Structure 1
Amino acid sequence: MLRTPEDRFIGLPGYDFAPHYADVADGATGRPLRIHYLDEGPADAAPVLLMHGEPSWCYLYRNFIGPLVDAGHRVIAPDLIGFGRSDKLGARTDYTYERHVQWMSDWLVGLDLNTITLFCQDWGGLIGLRLVAAFPDRFARLVIANTGLPTGSGSSPGFDQWLQISQTIPNFPAGNIVNMGTSRELTAAEIAAYDAPFPDETYKEGARQFPTLVPVTPGHGSVSENIAAWQVLEAFAKPVLTCFSDNDPVTKGGEAAIIARIPGARGQAHTIVPGGHFLQEDAAPQLAAIIDQFIKGA
Structure 2
Amino acid sequence: MDVLRTSDARFAGLPGYPFAPNYVDVAASDTEPLRMHYVDEGPRDGRPVVLLHGEPTWSYLYRTMIPPLVDAGYRVLAPDLIGFGKSDKPTRPDDYTYLRHVEWVTAWFEALDLTDVTAFVQDWGSLIGLRIAAEQEHRFSRMVVGNGFLPTADRGTPPAFRIWRAFARYTPVFSCGFIVGRGTVTKVPRAVRVAYDAPYPSSKYLAGARQFPNLVPTEPDDPAVPANRAAWAALGRWEKPFLCLFGANDPILGKADKPLIAHVPGAAGQPHDRIRAGHFLQEDAGPELARRIIAWEA
Residue 113 of structure 1 pairs with residue 114 of structure 2: yes
- Give 1:176's aligned residue: 178
Whether the 8 Å CA contact 1:26–1:33 is kept in 2: the answer is no
Whether the 8 Å CA contact 1:38–1:75 is kept in 2: the answer is yes
What aligned pairs does 1:3-42 form with structure 2 within 5 A after superposition?
3-29=5-31, 31-42=32-43
Whether the 8 Å CA contact 1:239–1:264 is kept in 2: the answer is yes
Residue 158 of structure 1 pairs with residue 160 of structure 2: yes
Using the TM superposition, give the Cα deviation of residue 221 of structure 1 relative to its aligned residue in structure 2, in angstroms: 2.6
What aligned pairs does 1:144-155 form with structure 2 within 5 A after superposition?
144-152=145-153, 153-155=155-157
| Counterpart-to-counterpart distance in 1, 2:106 and 2:249 | 31
Moved over 3 A (4+): none
Question: How large is the RMSD of aligned CA atoms in angstroms?
Answer: 0.9
- Give 2:207's aligned residue: 205
Structure 2 residue matching 1:85: 3-state secondary structure:
coil
| Counterpart-to-counterpart distance in 1, 2:51 and 2:202 | 27
- Give 1:287's aligned residue: 289
- Give 1:250's aligned residue: 252
| Counterpart-to-counterpart distance in 1, 2:142 and 2:156 | 25
Deviations 1:143-192 (A, max 9, x none): 10101001113421221111121111012111101111111111111000
Q: Number of matched residues?
A: 295
Whether the 8 Å CA contact 1:117–1:295 is kept in 2: the answer is no
Using the TM superposition, give the Cα deviation of residue 26 of structure 1 relative to its aligned residue in structure 2, in angstroms: 4.4
| Counterpart-to-counterpart distance in 2, 1:72 and 1:44 | 9
Letter in 1 for 2:89: K
- Give 1:259's aligned residue: 261
Letter in 1 for 2:115: N
| Counterpart-to-counterpart distance in 2, 1:189 and 1:252 | 27
Whether the 8 Å CA contact 2:91–2:204 is kept in 1: the answer is yes
| Counterpart-to-counterpart distance in 2, 1:232 and 1:251 | 22
| Counterpart-to-counterpart distance in 2, 1:26 and 1:142 | 24
1:275 to 260, 277, 290: 277
- Give 1:56's aligned residue: 57
Whether the 8 Å CA contact 1:213–1:221 is kept in 2: the answer is no
Whether the 8 Å CA contact 1:133–1:230 is kept in 2: the answer is yes
Letter in 2 for 1:61: Y
| 5+ residue gaps, structure 2 | none
Range that drifts further, 11-20 or 168-177: 168-177
Structure 2 residue matching 1:141: 3-state secondary structure:
strand
Whether the 8 Å CA contact 2:27–2:103 is kept in 1: the answer is no
TM-score with structure 2 setting the length:
0.97
Letter in 1 for 2:287: P
Structure 1 residue matching 2:64: 3-state secondary structure:
helix
Letter in 2 for 1:92: P
Whether the 8 Å CA contact 1:119–1:142 is kept in 2: the answer is yes
1:236 to 231, 235, 238: 238
| 5+ residue gaps, structure 1 | none
Using the TM superposition, give the Cα deviation of residue 273 of structure 1 relative to its aligned residue in structure 2, in angstroms: 1.2
Letter in 2 for 1:157: P
Letter in 1 for 2:200: F
- Give 1:223's aligned residue: 225
What aligned pairs does 1:119-138 form with structure 2 within 5 A after superposition?
119-138=120-139
Structure 2 residue matching 1:63: 3-state secondary structure:
coil
| Counterpart-to-counterpart distance in 2, 1:271 and 1:60 | 20
- Give 1:99's aligned residue: 100
| Counterpart-to-counterpart distance in 1, 2:156 and 2:80 | 26
Whether the 8 Å CA contact 2:245–2:273 is kept in 1: the answer is yes
| Counterpart-to-counterpart distance in 2, 1:125 and 1:25 | 20
| Counterpart-to-counterpart distance in 2, 1:162 and 1:65 | 29
What aligned pairs does 1:184-199 form with structure 2 within 5 A after superposition?
184-199=186-201
Deviations 1:49-85 (A, max 9, x none): 0000000000000000111111111100000000000
Residue 43 of structure 1 pairs with residue 44 of structure 2: yes
Using the TM superposition, give the Cα deviation of residue 285 of structure 1 relative to its aligned residue in structure 2, in angstroms: 1.5
Tell me the percent identity: 52
